[in-house]
C-alpha cells in the first residue's frame, strides 16, 4: 500500500543552524502539507502546497520557514535558523484531491534543537 | 474561526466493550469535513475515518463509526469491540472544504487506554 515517507526520522541540530526535512508524498497525490506537534500538544498546521505553490500558511510559518518541491517526488521543509522552540515532531501529509479529502501522514521527523 | 474541542483528556475502556470519544466543533463554513486520527505511542498519525458535512449517513469503517450530529456540531467516534491495540491518543480534526488548501485543524486529543 502506498505511503508517505519522511527522512530523517530524528534530527538533532544546534540553535541557529539550517535544517531540511524531507518527505516523499504518495505518488498520485496533488496536495501536500506540513504539520508540527510539540511534545504533549496537539498537531498544528504549518503550510499547504498545491500546483507548485503555497496555498495556505499559518502564523507559525514565518520567514524562517520555506517549502519546496524540487522534483516530481520530494517535498521539503527548510528552517533557516533554528530556535529552541522549533523542537517538535514534524509531519508531512498528502491527499489526492478531486473530491478525496483524507490526508495521509508520514511517520514524522523528530527535530531536536539544542 | 474554526475550533475543535475534545473534552476528555483520558478514557478507559474494558477490552471487547464499545467506547465513545467526544468531539465538538465550531465553524461558519457551510462545507467542511470531519476526521479522526489515531496516534499510537510510536508517534505516527493514522487516518481512521472521514465524514463530510453534507453526507446524509454516518461514516463507518470497520469497528469505527462517526456519530455525526450536525445541529449539535458534534462528531463523536465510536469504537466497537475494543482491542488492546486500540490504546492510543485519538485526535478529532476538521477541514473547511470551500478552501481547496484543505488544512486540518486538530483538537487536543483523548488518550484511550484499553484494559484487559
A101: nearest CB among B44, B46, B50: B50
pLDDT of A9-41, one tens digit each?
999 999 999 999 999 999 999 999 999 999 989
B45: nearest CB among A44, A95, A105: A105
Alpha-carbon distance of A71 to A48, in angstroms, equals: 17
If one compares B17 and A98, the residue with the highest pLDDT of the two is: B17
| pLDDT value for B68 | 96
- Between positions 35 and 64 of B, the ones with CB within 8 A of A are 35, 37, 43-47, 50, 52
| pLDDT value for B42 | 92
pLDDT of B50-74, one tens digit each?
999 999 899 999 999 999 999 999 9
- How distant, in Å, are the alpha carbons of A69, A91, A101, A103, A111 from that of A21? 12, 10, 24, 19, 9
| pLDDT value for A50 | 92
Q: Hey, how many other C-beta atoms are within 10 angstroms of the C-beta on B22?
A: 17
| pLDDT value for A72 | 78
Residues 6+ apart with CB under 8 A from A110: A9, A10, A11, A88, A89, A90, B43
A-chain residue closest to B5, CA distance: A42
Cβ distance A102 to B35 less than 8 Å, yes or no, reads: yes
B95: nearest CB among A42, A50, A101: A101
Q: Is the pLDDT of residue B110 over 90?
A: yes
pLDDT of A53-102, one tens digit each?
999 999 999 999 999 998 878 999 999 999 999 999 999 999 998 878 89
Cβ distance B47 to A91 less than 8 Å, yes or no, reads: no
Above pLDDT 70, what percent of chain B?
97
Amino acid at each position: 500500500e502506498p505511503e508517505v515517507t519522511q527522512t530523517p526520522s530524528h534530527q538533532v541540530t544546534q540553535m541557529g543552524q539550517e535544517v531540511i526535512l524531507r518527505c516523499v508524498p504518495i505518488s498520485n497525490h496533488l496536495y501536500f502539507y506540513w504539520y508540527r506537534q510539540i511534545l504533549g500538544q496537539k498537531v498544528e498546521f504549518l503550510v499547504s502546497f498545491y500546483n507548485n505553490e503555497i496555498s495556505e500558511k499559518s502564523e507559525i510559518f514565518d520567514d524562517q520557514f520555506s517549502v519546496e518541491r524540487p522534483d516530481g517526488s520530494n517535498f521539503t521543509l527548510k528552517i533557516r535558523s533554528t530556535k529552541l522552540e522549533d523542537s517538535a515532531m514534524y509531519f508531512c501529509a498528502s491527499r489526492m484531491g478531486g473530491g478525496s479529502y483524507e490526508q495521509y501522514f508520514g511517520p514524522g521527523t523528530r527535530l531536536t534543537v539544542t | 474561526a474554526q475550533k475543535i474541542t475534545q473534552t476528555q483528556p483520558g478514557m478507559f475502556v474494558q477490552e471487547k466493550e464499545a467506547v465513545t470519544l467526544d468531539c465538538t466543533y465550531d465553524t461558519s463554513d457551510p462545507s467542511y469535513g470531519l476526521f479522526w486520527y489515531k496516534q499510537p505511542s510510536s508517534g505516527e498519525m493514522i487516518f481512521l475515518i472521514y465524514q463530510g458535512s453534507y453526507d446524509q449517513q454516518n461514516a463507518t469503517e470497520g469497528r469505527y463509526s462517526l456519530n455525526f450530529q450536525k445541529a449539535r456540531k458534534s462528531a463523536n467516534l465510536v469504537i466497537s469491540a475494543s482491542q488492546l491495540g486500540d490504546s492510543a491518543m485519538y485526535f478529532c480534526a476538521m477541514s473547511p472544504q470551500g478552501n481547496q488548501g484543505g488544512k486540518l485543524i486538530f483538537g487536543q486529543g483523548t488518550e484511550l487506554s484499553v484494559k484487559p
